[in-house]
Structure 1
Amino acid sequence: MKKLIAISALAALSVTAGNAIAAGSASAGQTKAAVCAACHGADGNSVINPLWPSLAGQHASYIVKQLTELHAGDRKDPTMSPMAAPLSEADIADLAAWFSSQTRQPHQADPAKVKLGKQIYHGGNMETGVPACMACHGPTGAGNEPAKFPSLAGQNAAYTAKQLKAFRDGSRANDPNGMMRGTAKFMSDAEIDAVASYIQGLH
């Protein structure tokens, strides 16, 4: 409970301290996103490889944060870092505007993983110190735009599991105040895979 309260307080601070983001042009972003389509889909729905995230419907603030940090080297990814390196602030804002304006396609969760996934997402694991995912991402996975907490609903399970494991082992460390690292470090592989599958089925 104390951890849940602390996370809620940090979320509030993030909203208060959040920087204003200049609105981009979705029409300009559509043109610029042509190079992104091979992995993320023309409309931001990644269907070729489940390890590549769907960007459709993602909060513009979160897309801006991730692309800016990939551009600056604060987040590192062997595929995305070189793609983000040449982007200008305007490019990033336009891409964020385009992808956030699209609709993410719904997916299904693995029925065998729903029970555990739902338990972790909505209630966490009090015995091991895993907080409920919905504390930051909402009961339906809608996320929190001002706090730059991503929308998760319908995200590819393989991608979500990969990111949780990266937070757990510290290879991804661009989470505010270490919030995701602090959560994932207590999660087992089974819990990660189950909650990732449950998230994929949210809509």
Structure 2
Amino acid sequence: MKGITMKKALLSTVFLALAMPVMAGEKVDTSSWNQGGGEQDEALHLTPDHQNGIDTYEVCSACHQLNGWGLTDGTFPQIAGQHFNVTIKQLADIRALNRDNPTMYPFALPSEIGGAQSIADVAAYIEKLPMNPENGVGAGDDLELGEKLYKDNCVRCHGETGEGNNEKFYPRIHGQHYNYLVRQYQWIKEGKRRNANPDMVQQIQTFTDRDTKAVLDYVSRLRPPAEMVAEPGWVNPDFDW
């Protein structure tokens, strides 16, 4: 694991130039946010291999942790339980440079995790990981406004409880770390996350700072179904060496 950590630090520096932030207000072409093609389409139609999913996930665990729970400070998101299609799309987009992620990019390369088959394998493995029972949440001081904003603006795509939609590539957001939600929301609003759904980009432009904090605090407190959540202290047995 130490070797993976050292590799992460080195490659993150080397590939930092791949980040192409967009200035606020600059027009961004998001018309092709999910037209598919390439590795995305290929991976979606492959039969996942469980053992290779485990082997591939070991690379991912350097950041997302062995449980797939990320870090509560939001540096790395929880990915455990994420929809199969969503994980495939994000990996394929990062590899094709449709989504700027200089930290993750070197780990997502075919030379590191393999081709489309490995994308399908690790996405299936991640989907079955039980979710964090104690994700990071916000201050909890404006939840009434957050609930109203969520129901008025977010339910149509992300669902009543933040469950998302696998077929439509809408991610699960319940149980996600508050600080990660804040960062991604801001990048989407500014156009920095170029593979974001353009409907969302437009929808959140009028949100104030108070609105942002309130709705994301509310989202961070949405709970996944009990059967998807691990017991406190759960340790991934696939890496219980």
TM norm structure 2: 0.68
| Conserved? CA contact 1:26–1:98, under 8 Å | yes
Q: Which runs of 5+ in 1 are unaligned?
A: 1-13, 124-131
Aligned to 1:195: 215
Instruction: Tell me the SS of whatever aligns to 1:51.
Output: coil
Identity of aligned residues (%): 30
Using the TM superposition, give the Cα deviation of residue 109 of structure 1 relative to its aligned residue in structure 2, in angstroms: 4.9
Aligned to 2:56: 32
Q: How does 1:130-169 map to 2 (within 5 A)?
A: 132-169=153-190
| Corresponding position: 1:50 with 2:70 | no
Using the TM superposition, give the Cα deviation of residue 190 of structure 1 relative to its aligned residue in structure 2, in angstroms: 2.0
Q: Distance in 1 between matches of 2:45 and 2:154?
A: 26
Instruction: Tell me the SS of whatever aligns to 1:185.
Output: helix
Query: CA 1:102/1:139 → structure 2, altered by over 3 Å: closer, same or farther?
Result: same
Q: Distance in 2 between matches of 1:97 and 1:85?
A: 18
Query: CA 1:27/1:117 → structure 2, altered by over 3 Å: closer, same or farther?
Result: farther
Q: CA RMSD in A?
A: 2.1
| Corresponding position: 1:84 with 2:108 | yes
Query: CA 1:85/1:186 → structure 2, altered by over 3 Å: closer, same or farther?
Result: farther
Q: Distance in 1 between matches of 2:45 and 2:220?
A: 28
Q: Greater Rg, structure 1 or structure 2?
A: 2
Q: Which runs of 5+ in 2 are unaligned?
A: 1-34, 224-241
Aligned to 1:11: none
Q: Could you give the per-residue CA deviations for residues 18-50 of structure 1, whole angstroms, max 9, x where no partner exists?
A: 965423223321221112112212121113642
Instruction: Tell me the SS of whatever aligns to 1:202.
Output: coil
Amino acid at match of 1:188: T
Q: Distance in 2 between matches of 1:66 and 1:187?
A: 25
| Conserved? CA contact 2:100–2:194, under 8 Å | no
Amino acid at match of 1:94: D
Amino acid at match of 1:170: G
Amino acid at match of 1:97: A
Aligned to 2:125: 98
